[in-house]
Structure 1
Amino acid sequence: MSGNEESASHGKIGEVIHTKQPDGRIFERYRRPPGTRLVIISPDKKILITREHRQENDKIDLRLPGGKVVDSLPEFHKLLDEKADMVEEAIRGAKKEAVEETGLIVNDLKLLTIARAGATVEWDLYYFEVRNFGEHPDGQQLEHGEDVEVTWMGAQELKDAIERGEMHEWRSVGVLLGLVLPKL
C-alpha cells in the first residue's frame, strides 16, 4: 500500500481502502485481487463458453472461463508489495483456471484488454485471447462444488444468447461485443 492508503476493513479476498486526499478528505474504495477471463477461439472461429450455476444470479449463466489471479488477500498484498507484473501474474492464473474449468492447456495468451470496475471498486479483469490450446490428459479439474459445462458457440449464436440475457457478466459482454465478435 502507498503511504496515504490504509486498510479500513477486510475479508478473505478483499478490503476497504481509505486514501487521504490532499485536502484531507478520505476517498474510500473496495479492492480485491484481479481476475482473468479467457477468450478461447477454435480454428473454426467458435468461442469456448462455460455454463455454470452462479450464486450471485441463482441461475445458470454463460461465462468466459477464468477466475482469480490469487485466492487470498495476503497473496494479493504480497504481489503488490513486490510490485509484481500483474499481466504475468494474470497469465499464470489464467493458465491454471483454463485447466480447472475447461480441461485445456492454453498457450500464447494475448492480452486483449484490462476491464476496470470503476473508481470505487478496484477489481480488474484481464482478458486474454487464446488460439493455441490442447486437451489436458486429466480433463477438467473442478473445485469441490463446481459444476461447469463447456461448450463452443459461433459468433451469431453467442450474440443471440447475450440478447436473450443468458450472459450476466457485463464486462465480458462488452469485451465480446466490442473487441472479439466484430473480428471473427
Structure 2
Amino acid sequence: MISSQPDPLEERELSSEQLLDGRLLKVWRDRVLLPDGSEGVREYIRHPGAVVVVAVLPDGRLLFERQFRYPLRRVFLELPAGKIDPGEDILACAQRELREETGYEAQQWRYVGVMHPCIGYSNERIEIFLATGLGHVGRQLDEGEFLELLALSVEEAEEAIHRGELTDGKSIAALYRSLPVLEAGVG
C-alpha cells in the first residue's frame, strides 16, 4: 500500500549553497531538517549521470577496457561507460560511448537497470545496458582519452573480480545485474 504521508526518515532541505562548479562535478552544502526536528548539514556532489555497457561479442566474451584513472593514480579494468550529456537520451549515450570507446555498434540493446554508486555523497546514477549483435565500425576516442580493449569470458571476468583485479564498482554491478540474461544465452 502506497502512503501519501512523507517517509519518517526523510530529510528536508532548508537552504542550499554551491561550493564548487566544476566541469564534471558540482559540490553543494545543504542545511537540512532532520527527522527528529533538529538541523544538520549535508555536503554532496551533483553528477550528470552515466551509462555502463555490458557488450557481448559474437563469441560470447565481454568487452572490457583498461584505463588510467587519475584519482587513484592507476590503471583499472572496467566496462565501457561514460557521462550522460545534458538532455541526452540514456540509450543514445550508451550507443555513443560504446562506439567511441570500443569501435563497436550493437544491433540489440537491452536496458538492465540503474545503480547508485556513491549514495553517501553523490546523486550519481549509472544506467546499465546490455548490447549484443556487435559489429566493428572503428572507434573515435575523445580527445585526451587513452584506453586498451580486451575481451573476457563471463567466467574470466568473475575470476578477475575474486582475484581483486576488477574492482570498479559500476563494472561489477553491471556484470552481476546482467548475469541472468547472459546465463540465459543472450549473445
* 2:83 alignment partner in structure 1: 68
CA distance in 1 between partners of 2:98 and 2:154 (Å): 21
The answer to which of 20-29 and 142-151 deviates more is 20-29
Shift of 1:146: 2.5
Over the residues paired in the alignment, what is the CA RMSD in angstroms? 2.5
* 2:127 alignment partner in structure 1: 126
Q: Is the 8 A contact 1:103 1:135 kept in 2?
A: yes
Distance 1:53 1:9, change over 3 A: closer
CA distance in 2 between partners of 1:65 and 1:140 (Å): 12
Between structures 1 and 2, the one with greater helix share: 1
Q: TM-score, normalised by structure 1?
A: 0.76
The unaligned stretches of length 5 or more in structure 2 are: 1-12
Between structures 1 and 2, the one with greater strand share: 2
Fraction of identical pairs, as percent: 25
Q: Which protein is bigger by CA-based radius of gyration?
A: 2
The answer to which of 153-162 and 166-175 deviates more is 166-175
Matches within 5 A, 1:73-88: 75=86, 79=87
Q: TM-score, normalised by structure 2?
A: 0.75
CA distance in 2 between partners of 1:57 and 1:27 (Å): 25
Give per-residue Cα distances to partners, 1:127-159, cap 9 Å, x unaligned.
1011133222xx111123332222221111111
Q: Aligned residues, how many?
A: 165
CA distance in 1 between partners of 2:14 and 2:131 (Å): 38
Matches within 5 A, 1:27-176: 27-70=42-85, 75=86, 79=87, 89-116=89-116, 117-136=118-137, 139-176=138-175
CA distance in 2 between partners of 1:37 and 1:31 (Å): 18
